[in-house]
Amino acid sequence: MELNAIELTVTDGDLSALIDKYVRGDDLPVSGLDAQIGADGVIVRGKYQAAFLKGSFEATISLVADAQVVIATLADLKALGPVGNMFKGMLTSALQMKLGDIPGVSGDKDAIRFDLARLLADRGLAAEFAVLEIRCAPGRCTVKLSGSIDRAM
């Protein structure tokens, strides 16, 4: 089946459900995690404990498209003074460890990549497509795709 265009919309509620399922846990250096979608991407807020310091943080994660991969990059981090850089590394590592078991999700020190075709294949759908556009607005983010999709055998 050929797709001319399809739009996938993620709302704040969808994002909260994904966080509850994949990201919350006692093994993370954060608590009180909350996320919402803004015009510049996903805004994540919470509290952290780094060594003997505790504080709050707010991070903006930008989303860009590269072929069939959505790349999430930490664009801005507001945290307690010099702890911010150390916390950035801890947060990125912890997220990658939690998400690393999901087929189609990978990352490095700077970004987490979501391979949409691989994520769909894990759910029984074979897909080849290109991400045409990612648009974020308060409360929702829309990913526009084109390509083909079939039920995997």
Q: What is the pLDDT of residues 8-48, one digit of tens each?
A: 899 999 888 887 877 666 666 677 888 899 999 999 888 87
* Per-residue pLDDT at 106: 84
Residue in 106, 99, 146, 101 with CA at minimum distance from that of residue 127: 146
Which H or E run includes 132? strand 125-137
* Per-residue pLDDT at 2: 60
Higher pLDDT pick, 2 / 95: 95
Taking CA atoms, 60 is separated from 35, 78, 86, 150, in Å, by: 10, 9, 17, 35
The pTM of this model reads 0.76
Q: Give the whole-angstrom CA distance, residue 129 versus residue 132.
A: 9
* Per-residue pLDDT at 145: 82
Name the amino acid, one letter, at 129.
Answer: F
Higher pLDDT pick, 51 / 134: 134
SS3 (DSSP) at 68 = coil
**Proportion of the chain above pLDDT 90, given as a percent:** 15
Number of domains present in the structure of the chain? 1
DSSP 101-125: TSTTEEE-SSEEEEEHHHHHHTTTE
Domain carrying residue 145 = 2-151
Output phi, psi for 36, to 5 deg.
-150, 160
